[in-house]
Amino acid sequence: MKHVGTQTILFDAPPTILETSSIVGPKESQGPLAKYFDQCLDDEFWGEKTWEKAESKIIKENVNGVINKSGIAATDIDYCFAGDLLNQCISSSFGLREINVPFFGIFGACSTFVESLCLGAVFIEGGAANNVLCATSSHFCSAEKQFRFPLELGNQRPPSAQWTVTGSGAAIITKQGTGPFITCITPGKIVDMGIKDANNMGAAMAPAALDTLITHFRDTGRKPSYYDAIITGDLGHIGKEILTELAETKGYNIKANYNDCGVLIFDKEKQDTHSGGSGCACCGAVFSGYFFRQLKEKKINRILLIATGALMNSTSSQQGETIPGIAHAIAIEN
Amino acid sequence: MKPIETKQEYSNYVDQKSPNSPILKNCFNAFWVGGLICSIGQILFDFCKFKGLDETSSSSIVSIVLIGIAAILTGLNIFNKIGKFAGAGSLVPITGFANSIVSPAIEYKSEGYVMGVGGKMFTVAGPVLVFGISASVIIGIIYTFFV
Amino acid sequence: MEFFQSIDWMQMLRCFVVGGLICIIGQILIDKTKLTPARILVIFVTTGAILGGLGIYKYLIDFAGCGATVPLTGFGANLAKGAIQEVQNSGLLGAFIGGVKMSAGGIAAAVFFGYIASLIAKPKIKKQ
């Protein structure tokens, strides 16, 4: 493991992503990627009494799912990194309170999934662990309740608004394996370009994604064409367009191989999701469900996954604060 | 396109990139739904007066009935669909006030009837009462001393 | 039947148009500014109270009936009207009593129906 450039860490013995698992809610199950997810729910409550309990159940069942799929015993998992959007990360800590694995609760807003992969990979590479579990979840209803308005309120969503993905993504990374490998990571800086509109998250997060993207290329000497796919977490339609254009002004043309999980997960026209998906599970479930499979089947061999997060809450919005963005990049290669 | 360096440049760029709300369509829907709700109120009002009630009581009955209807529609998960379609058309009439009280009451039921329903009921509509009632008190005081 | 014959359709049209126009103002505020619904409601109720206090709003009520009273500006005007009436009856004390007294029906109904709805209804996801 060595530090290159300003922010990037290159791995000498790259850890393998052994297995992933994904669960999504009913709306995501009607989207274009439905067939790739491990489990599609037909009820947001999933038999629970509250949205928060439902979200905890989603992450719990998804973690059980990935452990089963991977074939390794839960007792062989050394550490767990997990987080979500709810205050004090209650979905993860409540959902995973019975799993009996040392637990690090992390918060990176919607960038949590890649943040957990970064930390897990460093733990493995540093010799602190053999198997690490990374998980995240989000739920449309619990997120609306916490960040916006009650569900029954008759308000209109502006065209720039994004739809929080209900679901979870989980991955197990391991020391010895046959790939796909996590070859390097570029943890991002907090970037705030002064956007205040909580209904335009894509625009708030795009500068952070740009910063991480350019830093990654500069640190590694790689070019956009090195990757088969460059994927951001949840910039949505507006953020995707902004990132593409801004990257071009900086001399990086990513048009050919760039896409965004928030754009992919919903059908904008049919599902009326405005600017696309968002939330921890957007990146988590789309990577775990779709891109990991593509990597496994060698349909793509090199992917740069950049999860983006908006580090705000309803108090900071009400106090008129701008929205700081963050983006963590991880390169996964066969 | 030139590279963007300052927050101001970025803010202008984002404004230009973000799609605008379809304001003409929204205003049209707001107009007819809002007008329709007021007209339903008017029919009720006329009916109350037809039955011999005075103006003040008729007004109160109109408010109560419209609030009741909005509460039922909110509970049936219909009001948010009307609101999405009509925007201010269902928000600005008294129905919007009712919806903004009933919706958090339902949403926060999971936190219990006292602190959830009772405590959170006014998260959206509380300011309306605070500012409305305060304004009326100030107007009353001004009226007492200056008129 | 007799009731329907008694309806003043011109009055109804004025009600429809004025109520609709007030909602258009609200819609422009929603789309052009980034105000939250709570702020828009506050703007309407306060504007109504001020116009009511100045004695202007009653002309709109005379013209449009429920087109002026049903929107929240009417709720505000009603609060102001109540305060002024009660001040006339009982002096300064009226400033504190009048407003709420006049709109007690609406407030109590909203609170009561809100509570009842929470007993019966379950939160559901928006389908859009």
User: Contact A249/B2, CB-based, under 8 Å?
Assistant: yes
What is B50-84 written as a DSSP string? Answer: HTT--HHHHHHHHHHHHHHHHHHHHHTT-HHHHHH
CA angle A156, B36, B22 (to 5 degrees): 35
What mean pLDDT do residues B129-135 have? Answer: 95
User: Contact C123/A27, CB-based, under 8 Å?
Assistant: no
Beta-bridge partners for A328: A307
- With an 8 Å Cβ cutoff, the interface of chain C facing chain A consists of 30-31, 34, 37, 121, 123-126, 128
Residue A307, token pair as written in the block: 């999860």
What pLDDT sits at residue C128? Answer: 43
Band of pLDDT at residue C127, cut at 50, 70 and 90: very low
In three-state secondary structure terms, A106 is: coil
Beta-bridge partners for A137: A84, A168
What value does the CA radius of gyration of chain A take, rounded to a whole number of Å? 18
Contacts of residue B21 in chain A, CB cutoff 8 Å? 156, 158-159
Does residue A158 surpass a pLDDT of 70?
yes
Band of pLDDT at residue B20, cut at 50, 70 and 90: confident
Residue from A262, A311, A52, A74 nearest A170 by CA: A74
Residue B96, token pair as written in the block: 């919007």
What are the pLDDT digits (tens) for A6-63? 999 999 999 999 999 999 999 999 999 999 999 999 999 999 999 999 999 999 999 9
Eight-state DSSP code of residue A166? P
Q: Which of A44, A149, A199 comes nearest C125 by C-beta? A: A44
What is A243-291 written as a DSSP string? Answer: HHHHHHHTT---TTTEEEHHHHHS-HHHHT-TT-EESHHHHHHHIIIII
Beta-bridge partners for A173: A17, A132
Where do the domains of chain A lie, and which CATH numbers do they carry? 2-174 (3.40.47.40), 181-333 (3.40.47.40)
HEC sequence for chain C = CHHHHHCCHHHHHHHHHHHHHHHHHHHHHHHHCCCCHHHHHHHHHHHHHHHHHCCCHHHHHHHHCHHHHCEHHHHHHHHHHHHHHHHHHHCHHHHHHHHHHHHHHHHHHHHHHHHHHHHHCCCCCCCC
On whether ipTM exceeds 0.95, the answer is no
CA pair distance C90, C81, nearest whole angstrom: 14
Does residue B144 surpass a pLDDT of 70?
yes
What pLDDT sits at residue C125? Answer: 65
Name which of A148, A153, A246 to mutate to probe chain B: the one with the most chain B Cβ atoms within 10 A of its Cβ: A153
User: Contact B83/A145, CB-based, under 8 Å?
Assistant: no
Counted across chains A and B, CB pairs separated by less than 8 A come out at 96
Distances (CA, A) of A266 to A17, A24, A228, A242, C16: 26, 12, 22, 19, 39
What are the pLDDT digits (tens) for A105-121? 999 999 999 999 999 99
User: Contact C124/A156, CB-based, under 8 Å?
Assistant: no
CA angle B92, A140, A53 (to 5 degrees): 120
Does residue A78 surpass a pLDDT of 90?
yes
Distances (CA, A) of A56 to A245, A309, B30, B110: 38, 21, 39, 15
CA pair distance A7, A216, nearest whole angstrom: 8
What pLDDT sits at residue C121? Answer: 87
Does residue C90 surpass a pLDDT of 50?
yes
Q: Is C103 on the interface with B (CB under 8 A)?
A: yes
CA pair distance C121, B8, nearest whole angstrom: 46
How many CB atoms neighbour CB C85 within 10 A?
Answer: 18
Enumerate helices (H) and strands (E) in chain A, giving the number of each.
Answer: 12, 15
C55 CB-near residues (< 8 Å, 6+ apart): none
Contacts of residue B102 in chain A, CB cutoff 8 Å? 152
Residue C15, token pair as written in the block: 């009600």
- Domain ranges within chain C, ordered by starting residue: 2-120
Q: Environment class of residue B128 by beta-carbon count within 10 Å: exposed (0-12), middle (13-18) or buried (19+)?
A: buried
Question: For the whole prediction, is pTM greater than 0.90?
Answer: yes
Contact of A276 with A28, CB cutoff 8 Å: no
What pLDDT sits at residue C84? Answer: 94
What mean pLDDT do residues A164-178 have? Answer: 95
Q: Is B87 on the interface with A (CB under 8 A)?
A: yes
Q: Is C7 on the interface with B (CB under 8 A)?
A: yes
- What is the least distance, in Å, from the CA of A149 to any CA of chain B? 8
What are the pLDDT digits (tens) for A245-296? 999 999 999 999 999 999 999 998 899 899 999 999 999 999 999 999 999 9
Q: Is C71 on the interface with B (CB under 8 A)?
A: yes
Query: How high does pLDDT run on average in chain A?
Result: 95
